[in-house]
Chain A
Amino acid sequence: MGSDDVFAAVALPHLDAAFNLARWLTGSRADAEDVVQEAMVRALTYFPTFRGGSSRAWILQIVRNTAYKMLAARRGLHGGGHTSLEEAGGIEDIPDLADGPERALILSDDLTRIDALIEGLPAELRETLILRELEDLSYREISQVTAVPIGTVMSRLWRARRMLAKAAEEGEKKGDKR
């Protein structure tokens, strides 16, 4: 079989996931197309170093890095706009997720609303949540894609779910006042 086919067999099943992740990270379809295309060129370049394992995690790792590289280059041009999260709290500081907000989440059955809540998360929480809940990756795969230890994946996932719940709750309160 040709080498083309080997690479195609590894890469093609993951194009949907690649686009979804790129779109969630960049916020635009056009940017996502650019990212996926560029990521495939890079994947082809790095392919000799691929040693098996999860091809999905491998492809998504390249997509993610490509997306951040593009966003960073753009920030360099326009300045500002970066949201980041203090992770000093670590795993020990795990606040209770519950106490009301789940009701708000269930109530917010408006599609655009959920999307907006996810868009509002800091990038490292958003990507972790997308990889877990939309792409169904394991903690180990997420750890590979986002280049952080599994413990960090777990605490990010927790924070993402907590922020989502709180944001939904606040949105609901605002909605009540209107």
Chain B
Amino acid sequence: MSAENCGKLLLLQAELDGELDAAAAAALAEHRASCPVCRRNESAILAARQALRRATYHRADPEFLRSLAGRIGGERGATGRPSLRRRVSPPWRRLATFGAGAALAAAIILAVVPLGRQDTITALVDDHVRALQPGHLLDVVSTNQHTVKPWFDGKLDFAPPVRNLAAEGFPLLGGRLDYLHGRSVAVLVYSRGKHLVELFVWPASGGTKEPASAAHKGYNVIHWTANGMSFSAVSDLEAAGLQEFVRDWQQAS
């Protein structure tokens, strides 16, 4: 076994893990192209990754998750089991008085969508998961909103607003048509790193609603309405990241 080390192996690994910025990747590229050690190790890392895709992702029993989620959700979790809250009442009570404070506002304040909307949340996440199957994600592939927007013309009975958030770190990948509760909706697909953010858009029945968030099967969902349109952003991005997306979308013109 060769013990050669070109001195760039951890950089190479970082590049393959998506950790290098464009400048660092460009600086590495020249060396990488001419270094046999890097080439060998690149294929070894990719082989390890491919093998790890077959590793088991351990899933908890649905019953255990439901029960735990119910207890985390406090009084809404009518599972008949004691709420977690009871076991930790002193700090929780501190939290309750603290809850309205500014510290929490920074990252995580959004009302949870009322449970009555659970069917919509489930449908959105199911659409999103189905779209992640190969070949289902995009009907129109373009990073240009002026290409994506006209593509929807004649395919929908409304004109969805399309914005490119590349400058905010959510580049537009394209769009597709999807169906939600029996009606056609526009879906705009954005990326952040390895994560996808999908924005479902359809005509709203009510007035303006502030963003509200929910989670289902590990996906985060944020819903709001504005200017006569309903918007639902769905992603496996963590909650704070998805909230950033929603803020950026609302502020973009």
A161-B5 in contact (CB<8A) = no
Interface residues of B in 21-56 (CB under 8 A from A): 37, 40-41, 43-56
Point out the residue from B37, B53, B69, B98 that lies within 8 Å of A15, measured CB to CB: B69
- Tell me if B156 is interfacial: C-beta within 8 Å of chain A: no
B134 to chain A, nearest CB (A): 18
B112 to chain A, nearest CB (A): 4
B44-A95 in contact (CB<8A) = no
A91-B94 in contact (CB<8A) = no
Point out the residue from B68, B91, B110, B238 that lies within 8 Å of A13, measured CB to CB: B238
Please judge, given known A-B contacts A44-B92, A47-B95, whether A19 and B60 are in contact too, CB under 8 Å. Answer: yes
CB-defined interface of B157-188 with A at 8 Å, one 1/0 digit per residue? 00000000000000000000000000000000
Q: Determine the residue in chain A with the shortest Cβ distance to B53.
A: A133
Bound Cα distance from A108 to B95, whole angstroms: 50
CB-defined interface of A131-170 with B at 8 Å, one 1/0 digit per residue? 0111010110000000000000011011001001100100
Point out the residue from A11, A47, A99, A105 that lies within 8 Å of B48, measured CB to CB: A105
Please judge, given known A-B contacts A15-B68, A97-B9, whether A4 and B238 are in contact too, CB under 8 Å. Answer: no
Report the contact-size class of chain A (Cβ under 8 Å from the partner): 35 or more
Q: Determine the residue in chain B with the shortest Cβ distance to A46.
A: B91
Point out the residue from A3, A11, A101, A158 that lies within 8 Å of B9, measured CB to CB: A158
B13 to chain A, nearest CB (A): 6
A6-B99, A91-B10 given. 17 additional CB < 8 A pairs?
Answer: A1-B111, A3-B92, A6-B108, A9-B108, A13-B238, A16-B59, A32-B60, A36-B68, A47-B91, A96-B1, A97-B9, A97-B41, A102-B44, A102-B46, A133-B53, A155-B10, A157-B17
